[in-house]
Amino acid sequence: MHFFEPPQLKYSHHIFFLTEFIALFDSIENLNELSLFFSYLDKNKSKINPFFISVIDKFASFKGTHSVLEDGAINFNMITLDPHWGSNWRYEELGKYWSQAPSNFPDVNVKWNISNSYQGNISLISKSHFYVSWSTTINNCTIHFCADCKYLLNEDPLQWSTSDIIFRMCL
Protein backbone atom coordinates (compact mmCIF):
# COMPACT_ATOMS: atom_id res chain seq x y z
CA MET A 1 0.00 0.00 0.00
CA HIS A 2 1.42 3.34 -1.05
CA PHE A 3 0.56 6.88 -0.08
CA PHE A 4 0.11 7.79 -3.74
CA GLU A 5 -0.66 5.18 -6.36
CA PRO A 6 -0.41 6.60 -9.89
CA PRO A 7 -3.04 5.59 -12.44
CA GLN A 8 -2.34 2.51 -14.54
CA LEU A 9 -0.66 3.56 -17.77
CA LYS A 10 -0.02 1.68 -20.97
CA TYR A 11 3.76 2.10 -20.61
CA SER A 12 6.12 1.50 -17.72
CA HIS A 13 6.66 4.56 -15.51
CA HIS A 14 8.57 5.63 -12.43
CA ILE A 15 7.84 8.67 -10.27
CA PHE A 16 10.71 10.30 -8.35
CA PHE A 17 11.19 13.30 -6.13
CA LEU A 18 13.29 15.96 -7.85
CA THR A 19 16.28 15.49 -5.51
CA GLU A 20 16.27 11.73 -6.13
CA PHE A 21 15.94 12.29 -9.88
CA ILE A 22 18.99 14.59 -9.90
CA ALA A 23 21.07 12.23 -7.74
CA LEU A 24 20.10 9.24 -9.91
CA PHE A 25 20.97 10.93 -13.20
CA ASP A 26 24.22 12.18 -11.72
CA SER A 27 25.10 8.63 -10.65
CA ILE A 28 24.28 6.60 -13.75
CA GLU A 29 27.07 5.82 -16.18
CA ASN A 30 24.93 5.47 -19.32
CA LEU A 31 21.35 4.95 -20.48
CA ASN A 32 21.79 1.18 -20.58
CA GLU A 33 22.51 1.21 -16.85
CA LEU A 34 19.35 3.29 -16.31
CA SER A 35 17.32 0.75 -18.29
CA LEU A 36 18.79 -2.12 -16.25
CA PHE A 37 17.98 -0.24 -13.03
CA PHE A 38 14.36 0.26 -14.09
CA SER A 39 14.13 -3.47 -14.89
CA TYR A 40 15.59 -4.18 -11.44
CA LEU A 41 12.96 -1.94 -9.83
CA ASP A 42 10.13 -3.59 -11.75
CA LYS A 43 11.40 -7.08 -10.93
CA ASN A 44 11.76 -6.38 -7.18
CA LYS A 45 8.92 -3.89 -6.71
CA SER A 46 6.72 -6.24 -4.70
CA LYS A 47 9.60 -7.57 -2.58
CA ILE A 48 11.45 -4.44 -1.46
CA ASN A 49 9.92 -2.81 1.59
CA PRO A 50 8.95 0.70 0.38
CA PHE A 51 9.01 2.40 3.79
CA PHE A 52 11.92 4.79 4.43
CA ILE A 53 13.73 3.56 1.30
CA SER A 54 14.64 6.18 -1.29
CA VAL A 55 15.32 5.64 -4.97
CA ILE A 56 19.02 6.19 -4.25
CA ASP A 57 18.92 3.42 -1.60
CA LYS A 58 17.48 1.14 -4.28
CA PHE A 59 20.08 2.29 -6.81
CA ALA A 60 22.85 1.61 -4.27
CA SER A 61 21.44 -1.89 -3.76
CA PHE A 62 21.36 -2.30 -7.55
CA LYS A 63 25.02 -1.27 -7.83
CA GLY A 64 26.15 -3.08 -4.68
CA THR A 65 24.54 -6.40 -5.60
CA HIS A 66 25.28 -6.15 -9.35
CA SER A 67 21.48 -6.18 -9.91
CA VAL A 68 21.04 -9.61 -8.26
CA LEU A 69 19.19 -8.97 -5.02
CA GLU A 70 18.15 -12.50 -4.09
CA ASP A 71 20.82 -14.78 -5.53
CA GLY A 72 20.21 -18.38 -4.48
CA ALA A 73 17.00 -17.60 -2.61
CA ILE A 74 14.07 -19.97 -2.92
CA ASN A 75 11.21 -17.60 -2.09
CA PHE A 76 11.40 -14.18 -0.53
CA ASN A 77 8.23 -12.36 0.38
CA MET A 78 9.86 -9.12 1.45
CA ILE A 79 13.38 -7.70 1.45
CA THR A 80 14.27 -4.82 3.75
CA LEU A 81 17.12 -2.62 2.59
CA ASP A 82 19.27 -0.46 4.83
CA PRO A 83 17.71 3.03 4.62
CA HIS A 84 21.23 4.53 4.77
CA TRP A 85 22.63 2.43 1.94
CA GLY A 86 22.02 5.13 -0.67
CA SER A 87 23.54 8.02 1.24
CA ASN A 88 26.56 5.96 2.32
CA TRP A 89 27.10 4.67 -1.22
CA ARG A 90 26.70 8.16 -2.70
CA TYR A 91 29.18 9.60 -0.17
CA GLU A 92 31.77 6.93 -1.07
CA GLU A 93 31.26 7.45 -4.82
CA LEU A 94 31.60 11.23 -4.54
CA GLY A 95 34.66 10.80 -2.32
CA LYS A 96 36.32 8.57 -4.95
CA TYR A 97 35.37 11.00 -7.73
CA TRP A 98 36.73 14.12 -6.03
CA SER A 99 39.90 12.37 -4.83
CA GLN A 100 40.75 11.59 -8.49
CA ALA A 101 39.52 14.89 -9.94
CA PRO A 102 41.90 17.61 -11.11
CA SER A 103 41.94 20.90 -9.21
CA ASN A 104 39.88 22.51 -11.99
CA PHE A 105 38.00 21.36 -15.06
CA PRO A 106 38.29 22.63 -18.64
CA ASP A 107 34.60 23.60 -18.84
CA VAL A 108 32.34 24.22 -15.85
CA ASN A 109 29.14 23.46 -17.80
CA VAL A 110 30.14 19.87 -18.56
CA LYS A 111 29.83 16.83 -16.28
CA TRP A 112 33.08 14.85 -16.53
CA ASN A 113 33.74 11.15 -15.95
CA ILE A 114 37.24 10.38 -14.75
CA SER A 115 38.13 7.30 -16.73
CA ASN A 116 41.66 6.67 -15.50
CA SER A 117 44.64 8.30 -13.86
CA TYR A 118 48.30 7.40 -14.25
CA GLN A 119 51.55 9.16 -13.32
CA GLY A 120 49.73 12.41 -12.55
CA ASN A 121 47.83 12.43 -15.88
CA ILE A 122 44.06 12.31 -15.72
CA SER A 123 41.73 11.31 -18.54
CA LEU A 124 38.34 13.05 -18.52
CA ILE A 125 35.41 12.12 -20.75
CA SER A 126 32.33 14.31 -20.91
CA LYS A 127 28.99 12.76 -19.99
CA SER A 128 26.87 15.17 -21.99
CA HIS A 129 29.05 16.29 -24.90
CA PHE A 130 31.60 14.66 -27.16
CA TYR A 131 34.59 16.16 -25.35
CA VAL A 132 37.72 14.44 -24.11
CA SER A 133 40.37 16.04 -21.94
CA TRP A 134 43.74 14.87 -20.71
CA SER A 135 44.92 16.81 -17.71
CA THR A 136 48.16 17.12 -15.78
CA THR A 137 49.35 19.37 -12.98
CA ILE A 138 52.74 21.08 -12.96
CA ASN A 139 53.48 22.91 -9.69
CA ASN A 140 50.13 24.65 -9.02
CA CYS A 141 49.08 24.90 -12.67
CA THR A 142 46.62 22.44 -14.21
CA ILE A 143 47.01 21.99 -17.96
CA HIS A 144 44.20 20.48 -20.05
CA PHE A 145 44.55 19.04 -23.53
CA CYS A 146 41.01 19.03 -24.92
CA ALA A 147 39.49 17.48 -28.01
CA ASP A 148 36.01 17.97 -29.44
CA CYS A 149 35.06 14.57 -30.85
CA LYS A 150 31.73 15.62 -32.38
CA TYR A 151 33.11 15.59 -35.92
CA LEU A 152 34.08 11.92 -35.53
CA LEU A 153 30.45 10.80 -35.45
CA ASN A 154 29.59 11.61 -39.05
CA GLU A 155 32.80 10.56 -40.77
CA ASP A 156 33.31 7.58 -43.03
CA PRO A 157 35.63 5.12 -41.22
CA LEU A 158 37.32 4.28 -44.53
CA GLN A 159 38.60 7.87 -44.72
CA TRP A 160 40.25 7.82 -41.28
CA SER A 161 43.94 8.55 -41.18
CA THR A 162 46.39 6.61 -39.04
CA SER A 163 46.40 9.40 -36.45
CA ASP A 164 42.57 9.26 -36.27
CA ILE A 165 42.69 5.51 -35.65
CA ILE A 166 45.31 5.91 -32.92
CA PHE A 167 43.26 8.71 -31.34
CA ARG A 168 40.11 6.53 -31.31
CA MET A 169 42.05 3.64 -29.78
CA CYS A 170 43.20 5.93 -26.96
CA LEU A 171 39.60 6.80 -26.08
Note the pLDDT of residue 140: 84
Q: Are residues 122 and 73 in the same domain?
A: no
Burial 104-126 (b: 16+ CB within 10 A, else e): ebbeeeeebebeeeeeeebbbbb
Q: Find the mean pLDDT for residues 91-99.
A: 86
Note the pLDDT of residue 30: 82
Q: Are residues 84 and 107 in the same domain?
A: no
Tally of structural domains, the chain: 2
Give the residue numbers spanning the domain of 47.
18-88
pLDDT per residue over 56-66, tens digit each? 888 888 887 77
Q: Find the mean pLDDT for residues 59-86.
A: 70
12 part of a folded domain: no
Q: How far apart are CA 115 and CA 165, in angstroms?
A: 20
93 part of a folded domain: no
pLDDT per residue over 116-126, tens digit each? 777 778 888 88
